[in-house]
Amino acid sequence: MSKLPSIIQRRDLEPLLFKAGKIAKQYEKAANCAVSVVNSNCDNDSNQYNFICKRCKNNCMFLHMKAVNEARLLGGSYIYLCPQGFVFWTSPFYSGERLAGALISGGIKGSINNSGRIKALAKIMVICADQISRRNTHLANITHTVNSAESENNEKPENEAYSIILERILLADLRRGDNKEAMKILHKLIDIRYREVKCDFTVFKLKAIELAVLLSRAATDTNDINDNSILEINYCYLKKMEESTNISEITDILSGFTEKMAEKIFSFHGVRHFPAIRKAERFIWENYTRKLSLREIADVSGLSAPYFSTIFREEMGENLSNYINRLRVDKAAVMLVTTNIPISVIAKTCGFEDQSWFLKIFKNNTGFTPGKYRDQGSISGMSA
C-alpha cells in the first residue's frame, strides 16, 4: 500500500489515530488486555508490535499485518493464533471508505475455538473501531485462522428476517424510552434465539452476546471519546454471560444489561425540543396505521407544520414520512410472519392505502418483497 501524501495524512488520518489512542486506553482498562494502534500501512512503529507481543517474547509483526488485512477483507474482527500459542484479535477503522488504521489486542494463552471471552472481547473491539470510524454498521463477522469454517453457517435461519425486525422494534422502544415494551421484545428475541440454535446453550450464549453488542452500538456516542462507561458495562455483563449455565441466567443478565443501556439509548435526553417531539412521537405511534398529515401531527406538538418538519428531521435524523413508513413496515413484517392475512389486507391495516406503494416501501426497508419475506420468515406458533 502506498503512503498517502503528508498533507492528506495530517488532515484526515492523524485525528483518527489520536482518537484511536484514547479509545485503546479505555479498551485496555475495560478488557484487561494489551492494545496497540497501527496506522493504515500497519508500520507505525516496531515497538508497537513488541508491546503487543511482550508476553510471547516474539515479534509477530508480519502475522499482525496479515491479520489486519484479513479483518479488512472480511469486514469485521479477526481472531488469530501466533506461533507461540497466544491468541490475538484485530479490528480496522476507517476514514470514510479509506483504511485509517487498526486496533490489535490479545496475548492470551489458550485456544481460539471455544473461548466465549475472546469472542466477546473481539466484538467489543468492533464497537470501538466503529466509534473511531463513526460508523453504524450491523454486527460484523468474526472469524479466525484455524478451522474458520467450523462455526460459520452460510445458510440464514428461516426466522432471521423476523428477528431483525424485532431488533429494530427493540431499539425503537428504547429510543422512545418505552422500557416496558422493550423488555417484552427482548424476551421474545431470547426465545427465538434459543429455539434457533436447537437449545444448544453454548451457541446460544454467543447469540446473546451478539444481542448485547447490538445494544452497545446503539448506546455508543461516537462524539464522546472520553466516555468509557459502555466498555466497562460491556465487559462486566459479557463476563457474566460467559460464566452463565442456563437460559434463565442469560435472560436475567440481558434484562439487566438492557436496563443499563436504556438511558444511554433514549434519544430524547438533551433534545432541544423534547416536549414537542415526545408528544408528536407518542401520537404517531398511536395512529400510524391510518392516514396522517403533517399538519395534524404538528398541531399535537404545538408547533407550526414547517417548523415541526424541520426540527423533527434535525432531532430524529430522518424525515417524518420515512419515520412513519418505517413503523408501518415493521408492523407489516410482524403480521406477515405471524398471520395468514392476505398481503393486500395487511397493507391497508398498516396504513398503506396503495398496495403498489406498500410493495415499494417494504422492499426498500427490508430488501424483500412482502411475499418473499413471508416465505422466508414464517414461524409456526409465533404470536404477534
**pLDDT surpasses 70 at 142:** no
pLDDT computed for residue 281 by the predictor: 84
Residue 103 phi/psi, 5-degree rounding, is -100, 140
Can you give the C-alpha Rg of the chain in angstroms? 23
Strands 77-81 vs 142-144: parallel, antiparallel or unpaired: parallel
Q: What is the mean pLDDT of residues 343-364?
A: 91
Among the ranges given (114-118, 119-123, 314-318), the one the predictor scored with the smallest mean pLDDT: 114-118
- The structure's pTM equals 0.50
pLDDT bin (cut points 50, 70, 90) of residue 185 is confident
Give me the half-sphere count of Cα atoms (radius 13 Å) on the Cβ side of residue 322.
Answer: 9
Q: What is the mean pLDDT of residues 205-223?
A: 75
The 10s digit of each residue's pLDDT in 256-300 is 888 888 877 765 555 567 778 878 888 998 898 898 999 999 999
- Average pLDDT value over all residues in the chain: 75
Domain ranges of the chain: 6-144, 160-265, 274-377
Range 6-144: architecture per CATH: 2-Layer Sandwich (3.30)
pLDDT bin (cut points 50, 70, 90) of residue 228 is low
Percent of the chain with pLDDT over 70: 74
**pLDDT surpasses 70 at 226:** no
Percent of the chain with pLDDT over 90: 10
CB atoms within 10 A of CB 224: 11
**pLDDT surpasses 90 at 343:** yes
Highest mean pLDDT pick, 110-119, 165-174, 184-193, 235-244: 184-193
CB atoms within 10 A of CB 177: 16
pLDDT computed for residue 342 by the predictor: 92
- Residue 170, phi-psi category: left (phi > 0), alpha (psi -120 to 50), beta (remainder): alpha
Cα distances from 66 to residues 73, 88, 120, 210, in angstroms, run 11, 12, 22, 26
Cα 133 from Cα 40, distance rounded (Å): 13
Cα 96 from Cα 161, distance rounded (Å): 28
Cα 299 from Cα 365, distance rounded (Å): 28
The 10s digit of each residue's pLDDT in 84-96 is 788 888 999 887 7
Contact 234, 189 (CB under 8 A): no
User: Which element (helix H / strand E) includes 65?
Assistant: helix 61-74
More confident of the two residues 46 and 230: 230
Q: What is the mean pLDDT of residues 173-185?
A: 80
Could you tell me where the beta strands, DSSP code E, fall in 172-301?
none
Q: Report domain 274-377's class.
A: mainly alpha
DSSP code of residue 78 = E
| Residues forming a β-bridge with 39 | 101
Residue 51 phi/psi, 5-degree rounding, is -65, -45
**pLDDT surpasses 70 at 301:** yes
pLDDT computed for residue 123 by the predictor: 80
More confident of the two residues 122 and 228: 122
DSSP code of residue 3 = P
Spell out the residues 6+ positions from residue 254 whose beta carbon is closer than 8 angstroms to its own: 186, 190, 208, 211, 212, 241
pLDDT bin (cut points 50, 70, 90) of residue 358 is very high
pLDDT computed for residue 57 by the predictor: 55
**pLDDT surpasses 70 at 17:** yes
pLDDT computed for residue 297 by the predictor: 93
Contact 346, 362 (CB under 8 A): no
